[in-house]
Amino acid sequence: MSAATSLPLRDVHLPPIPSWWPLPLGWWLVLAALALVVLLAWAWRAHRRRQQRRWLRLFDTTVDAAQHGTAQIAAMAELLRRAARRRQPGAELLQGQAWLEFLDAPGSRAFSDGDGRLLLDGGYRRSLDAADVQRVRDLARARFLELIDRRGR
């Protein structure tokens, strides 16, 4: 024992704690992947917004091209049938109440019990009130966008 105590030993020195900067390569990869995910999500949302604006512009120009209320109602009905076919093939063949129930958004009866009923016979009437046509247009425009957007599948 006396030999062990006589050795000139020094204290154990721990290495310095690694600094947090500069970041190790793995963290740079994680940050790059995160930035890529954020960029892709932003680009996807921007693409969807542009697509929705194009669809709404198509709806508006088609309906505005019609000269009077009955032609506008007929144009809205045609656009809604196109969108319905895109969502569910065969849905454009529905008639009457079944068609209006298909157009109803979940939790809504705006087409089957509300202003949307004008789509059934509004295209065949002699004259329509402009306020009625505008209410149906607002309703049909919103539903057109929901139907044509494939997210809801």
Domain parsing of the chain, residue ranges: 51-153
Q: How far apart are the first and last CA of the chain?
A: 82
CB-neighbour burial class of residue 40 (10 A; exposed 0-12, middle 13-18, buried 19+) = exposed
Query: Does residue 112 contact residue 100 with C-beta atoms inside 8 Å?
Result: yes
Q: Which amino acid is at 2?
A: S
Query: Does residue 153 contact residue 87 with C-beta atoms inside 8 Å?
Result: yes
Q: What is the pLDDT of residue 143?
A: 94
Give residue-wise pLDDT tens across range 2-59.
Answer: 666 678 888 899 998 888 888 889 999 999 999 999 999 999 999 999 999 999 999 9
User: Does the structure show a pLDDT above 90 at 108?
Assistant: no
Cα torsion through 128, 134, 135, 139, rounded to 10: 120
In angstroms, the CA 151 to CA 149 distance is: 6
Q: What angle do CA 79, 84, 86 make, to 5 degrees?
A: 100
Which structure tokens are listed for 12?
Answer: 């154990």
User: Residue 103: which pLDDT band, with cuts at 50, 70 and 90?
Assistant: very high
Give residue-wise pLDDT tens across range 56-84.
Answer: 999 999 999 998 899 999 999 999 999 99
